[in-house]
Structure 1
Amino acid sequence: MSAPLRRFLGTESGSATLLVAATVVALGWANSAWVGAYEQLWATEISLRVGDAELALDLEDWVDDAFMAVFFLVVGLEVRRDLSIGELTDRRRAVLPLLAGIGGMVVPVLLYLAINRGGDAVHGWGVVIGTDTAFLLGTLALVGPRTSTQLRVFLLTLTVVDDIVAVTVIGVVYSGEIVVPALLLAGLATVALAVLGRLRVRRTWPYVVAMLALWLSVLESGLHASIAGMVAGLLIPAYLPRRREVERAASSATAFRQSPMAQVGRSAQGALARAVPVNERLQVVLHPWTSYVVVPVFALANAGVDLRGGVLADALASPVMWGVVAGLVVGKLVGVGAGALGGEALGLGRLPQGVGPGQVLGGAALSGIGFTVALLIIGLAFDDERRQDEATVGVLLALVLATAVGWSAFRLAAVLHGETSAGLPMVLDRPVDPEHDHVRGRPSAPLTLVEYADFECPFCARATGVSREVRQHFGADLRYVFRHLPLPDVHPHAELAAAASEAAAAQGRFWELHDVLFERQDRLELEDLAGYAAELGLDVERFLRELDEQTHAGRIRADVASAEASGARGTPTFFVGGRRHVGPYDAGTLIAALEAGRRTEDDPALA
């Protein structure tokens, strides 16, 4: 998993604890002698005035309309990143989560409407469409498999569908009377964001100005302001850092280390900012705030239901409450499970590696935790406070029941089907064979570092210097092994370069051409490769013939298959002592990992 995705998942899981605490505090406060203070707090008016222009909202509206717009902005940023360079770049991987997401909305809505067929209760159908990502991932960490990285990615992809549809429903179905002039201004702000993204503007402030204009316009237009956050997030582009800009940032940082002056430091800061896309910079800044402040404060403002005075008894007898419970607990389980498993049975896609059917059902059950979006829609769907309380009780009860059903599904999957892990493999699938693998160093060295790499990957090129430093540190105690993992979808010359290195290996010159390819990875056309072969004194005719006949394609496919079976999904991926290395791959980190592996081998008690 990429570092941004690991960071995203970790933050969401950590915020679940705060969500639970905020919910408990809200319920306790609303059912105490200080309930008046609770209601008075959220009714407090806060206004902003510039000249004759004034924006006045009570505190609860600030939370629902402003804070939640930031929350959906972060969701939109993550969706855009996944579509551009993340898990959803391979559209085939998105088929089953897409089907599961659609099923997880259609079935709950049908169940809700089957229980609430008429009257104002019908308006609450939107309450059951959403899934709370923070609660889902936090609960998964508590009740799910020991390792759940692949299942978490699958569920996160599924919630993308939920979030987009939920915001669309909020904006279209649950908005007020439309004010056309404000809507036109919102359209202009949207165009401005799209133009900034198209031009790849590197500074953050133009996007912030456009987003504020969009939010204010949407707020005045009668649409719910949360839609502004999602639209803005989807329009801010995400892309991989460019090698030239990364190197320029590194040079600027080196210059500042040599000359720690304010002007040089400012230049280095600017170079670093330009090397990281605005999309990811905003996520890094905003995501902790939305996870640890926005969502818990939203729970504190919206989960406080006074259950006294017969409210709880009325809720338990209310079709609205049971419609919410049935939709979230039963509907999500059936809809998500049928969409994912049915789609796989029909051959429309396949489950992520390491994820079993029982674990899918466990995740489907947990997707019935609709907390944040559900509470937001409750306030928009019902004007009657009694109805709001009944629906809120349903959401809270569904949270408990969905967690219990998910826990049961995971336990049964482990006991009946042996589904104890839902993560990618961590162990090197094919042991190192000095007769077959490309090995630098003493073949019988006690320490082993394996790298799966792509000759056109700029980060692999930088990693060659890292591996050189690691080899120098350990000397004869380390053997470095290179295996192919070309990524032709993003690096069109990678497979040809890999074949060229194998053609050179057939003439005993693999490592020489390996070094040349990484030094000149921006020139990997066929004529370039032929020129490199001539420079190295190879038989160029034989070299080109083997490329034309794809003589070494089987060898490259075997490396790719071993990468797949070992859990390697991107480049560079390192294996230290036969186990996949997760985290930074700078020289210091890899040296520390190899030293730790050596200590473990020397002292089995540390294993």
Structure 2
Amino acid sequence: MTAGAESPEVTEGDRAPFFPRLREKLNQRRGFSDTEKTAAALLLIATVAALVWANWPGGSTYDSFWHSTISLRIGGSSLELDFRSVVNEALMTLFFFVVGLEVKREFALGELSDWSRAVVPVAAAIAGLAIPAVIFLAINPSGETAHAWGVVISSDTAFLLGALAIVGPRLPGHLRIFLLALAVVDDVGALAVIAIFYTGHLDIVPLVVAVLGLAVIWSLRYLRLGQGPAYVVFSIVVWVALYASGVQPTLAGVAIALAIPVYAPRRREVENAAALSRAFRQSPNPAYAQAAVRGLLGSVSVNDRLHTLYSPYTSFIILPVFALANAGVHLTGETLAAAIRSPLTWGVVAGLVIGKLVGITGITALIKVLKLGVLAPGLTLGRVAGGAALSGIGFTISLFIIDLAITDPQQQDEARVGVLAASLIAFLLGWAVFRIVDRVQPPSRMSQVLARPVDPRRDHIKGPLDAPLTLVEYGDFECPFCSKATGSIDEVRAHFGDDLRYVWRHLPLTRVHPHALLAARASEAAALQGRFFDLSPVMFENQDELEFDDLLGYAAALGLDLDRFEEDMRSSDVVNRVRDDTIDADLMDVHSTPTFFIDGKRHHGPYDAASLIRELNLTRPLSGAPRTTQV
């Protein structure tokens, strides 16, 4: 049995209860965390609860509760907000803070750090912002309702990922990454719209105070002690100053997040944290404990620490509370009748459902035709269309902007009906698109062919670049089966000589091999210095010694530039390259190592030298390319 393969289990099959079977079905949709699915479920439950609360016989308590006020008085100054405003303007600041942290990290280290990779989702996001607004304004060209065009511009990331996990393709591959990158740009655009178009009066003096507070927050990166309390104090100062200036105070969350540093872990800080931990283990006492905690926290960026700390609160508490406070539409016959006749409602529905689908899919197709960018392996226009349809689920920011853009309670209800209707229609439309795409190109067919053709500019190749035979391996440097397979591969290469090119791609099985991902990144860092196939056998020979210091030692023995090697291991290029191979493997339903592809077709069965040679010989009559460059 190959590493990472799972043994079959005896189950109760059809006798299993419905909900456990449903949960198991959702868990099979790889690429989605339990956190994302749980967050979407809580958001949905809160939405239903709000609708039930607002429409049951005692539904008047819904509005009376959320309009109850809370006040804070300091000397002669006072701040008074009703409960809904506390949620929308105070608690949602933390939500926008987490969004800002994600945006900064994506642009600094993630999918959007490389423009060549980001051009398609960025352009699709911009079109997904603009086209819905144009459609809305075509239906509502004037009057107060025209000011509500911002309602249709933004997708709800939590609902989008939850819906994708439920009705999306079984193997989401690069689609999830594409939609996440798109959602980041979508959030940036929505936040900019709120700041520019939905800010009322402007008071300069508090605004200057807010800017100075942000400058102090930026400088706190140089503070050695007391960073946490300082961040809290000056963040409150910035929020209060923005509130007093007339700028939407929730934008304080984004501004603060952008002022906080983000970087990949540095070796010096990691080694210092390890030394402090060893000191505490040898002599456990409060002083060493505090020093070890500070060292561990200091080894990762403030951005990462705060995102990890606050994400659960925003996903599991703040967003559900926001839905509970804002989704309670009074669905009376009068309200529904008014909504059906209302251009505002239909503008919201058309903008979200049609605008997102047409905007995102259309610009993606145009970029592909003009060859201004490329889609990742398995990311077909059909899959993009399915994701674009689901992007019509506009909830959190849509409801947020309704409260900013519309003052008439009746029109607010009409717009909320439009958001809820559009979200349901978008969900069903996305489901339909994915079912059609899966019928045209079944996932089982995709798993039998190589998702991404061999690219000499990117892949690690031994043999002539245009040899008539190709053997691709998806492997793991900590996998003992991959180590043993190297002997078979050497025999196969010796047998075919210049008729074969061998290609290595990464599939680190991190659940069973904790150092596999680090080793994969080390191999890519060595590749940037032209030594991929020099470091690889060293790691196979030392599979029990793949700690970071071990990898640095192997690199030093090969004469690599260690500073560059260490920096490249943390670079977004290396991280994305390993991730790309892993996503490609997931797209092909490859979850064990080693897995081989022979001339683009998946190899099943033994991978000893004789079996591989026999399979390669079967493809030889179809191969006749000339032999040229050797690598």
Whether 1:77 aligns to 2:101 is yes
- Tell me how far apart the structure 1 counterparts of residues 42 and 476 of structure 2 sit (CA, whole Å): 50
How far residue 180 of structure 1 moved from its aligned partner, in angstroms, is: 1.1
CA apart distance, 1:207: 2.6
Q: Could you say what secondary structure the match of 1:88 adopts?
A: helix
- Could you say which residue in structure 1 is the equivalent of 2:600? none
Aligned equivalent of 2:473: 430
Q: Is the Cα–Cα contact under 8 Å of residues 29 and 35 in structure 1 kept in the other structure? A: yes
String of CA shifts for 1:172-221, please: whole Å, max 9, x gaps.
21122111111111111222233335889993333333322211111111
Once the two structures are superposed, the pairs formed by residues 365-380 of structure 1 within 5 Å of their partners are: 365-380=389-404
Using the TM superposition, give the Cα deviation of residue 246 of structure 1 relative to its aligned residue in structure 2, in angstroms.
1.2
Residue of 548, 552, 568 corresponding to 1:518: 552
2-structure distance, mates of 1:246, 1:527: 20
Structure 1 residue 40 corresponds to structure 2 residue 64? yes
* Cα shift at 1:134: 0.3
Q: Per-residue CA shift, 1:220-244, capped at 9, x if unaligned?
A: 1111112111111122121111112
In the TM superposition, residue 496 of structure 1 has moved relative to its aligned partner by: 2.5
Inter-partner Cα distance in structure 1 for 2:445 and 2:79: 51
SS in 2 for 1:29: helix
**Alignment partners' CA distance in 1, 2:561 and 2:170:** 51
Match of 2:156 among 100, 109, 132: 132
1:496 maps to amino acid: Q
Are the counterparts in 2 of residues 356 and 419 from structure 1 also a CA contact under 8 Å? no
Q: For 1:22 and 1:562, how far apart are their aligned partners in 2?
A: 38
Q: 1:114 aligns with which of 132, 138, 153?
A: 138
359-368 or 76-85, which moves further after superposition?
Answer: 76-85
Tell whether the 8 Å contact from 2:556 to 2:562 is kept in structure 1 after alignment: no
| One of 496, 500, 504 as aligned partner of 2:529 | 496
The residue aligned with 2:54 is: 30
- Residue in 2 that maps onto 1:341: 365
Whether the 8 Å CA contact 1:155–1:363 is kept in 2: the answer is yes
Identity of aligned residues (%): 42
Task: Give the letter aligned to residue 304 of structure 2.
Answer: E
- Give, as a single letter, the amino acid of the residue that structure 2 aligns with 1:519: G
2:274 alignment counterpart = 250
Superposition pairs of residues 15-414 of structure 1, within 5 angstroms: 15-197=39-221, 203-308=227-332, 310-414=334-438
Shift of 1:417: 2.6
- SS of the counterpart of 1:354? coil
Cα RMSD (Å) of the superposition?
4.0
Counting only pairs closer than 5 Å after superposition, residues 538-549 of structure 1 correspond to structure 2 as none
- Secondary structure of 2:112's aligned partner: coil
Which consecutive residues of structure 1, in runs of 5 or more, have no partner in the other structure?
A: 1-5, 454-459, 468-481, 530-559, 581-607
Matches of 2:145 and 2:432, distance apart in 1: 32
CA contact (8 A) 2:135 2:350 kept: yes
Q: Partner of 2:170: helix, strand, or coil?
A: coil
Q: Is the 8 A contact 1:76 1:231 kept in 2?
A: yes
Shift in CA distance, 210/451, structure 1 to aligned 2, threshold 3 Å: farther
Taking the aligned partners of 2:535 and 2:232, their CA distance within structure 1 comes to: 50
CA distance in 1, matches of 2:536, 2:154: 54
Contact 2:402–2:416 under 8 Å retained in 1: yes
TM-score by length of 1: 0.74
TM-score, scaled relative to structure 2: 0.71
Using the alignment, how far apart are the partners of 2:376 and 2:225 within structure 1? 36
Distance 1:279 1:523, change over 3 A: farther
> 1:366, 1:19 → 2: CA distance?
16
Cα distance change on mapping 1:440 and 1:298 into 2, 3 Å: same
Cα distance in 1 between the residues matched to 2:442 and 2:476? 32
Instruction: Give 3-state SS (helix, strand or coil) of 1:48's partner.
Output: strand
In structure 1, what is the equivalent of residue 594 of structure 2?
A: 578
- 1 CA distance for matches of 2:286 and 2:82? 44
Q: Structure 1 residues 240, 483: closer, same or farther in 2, change over 3 A?
A: closer
Q: Distance in 2 between matches of 1:137 and 1:52?
A: 47
Distance 1:214 1:527, change over 3 A: closer
Tell me the CA shift for residue 117 of structure 1: 1.5
Q: Quote the Cα distance in structure 2 between the aligned partners of 1:232 and 1:167.
A: 13
The residue that corresponds to 2:22 in the other structure is none
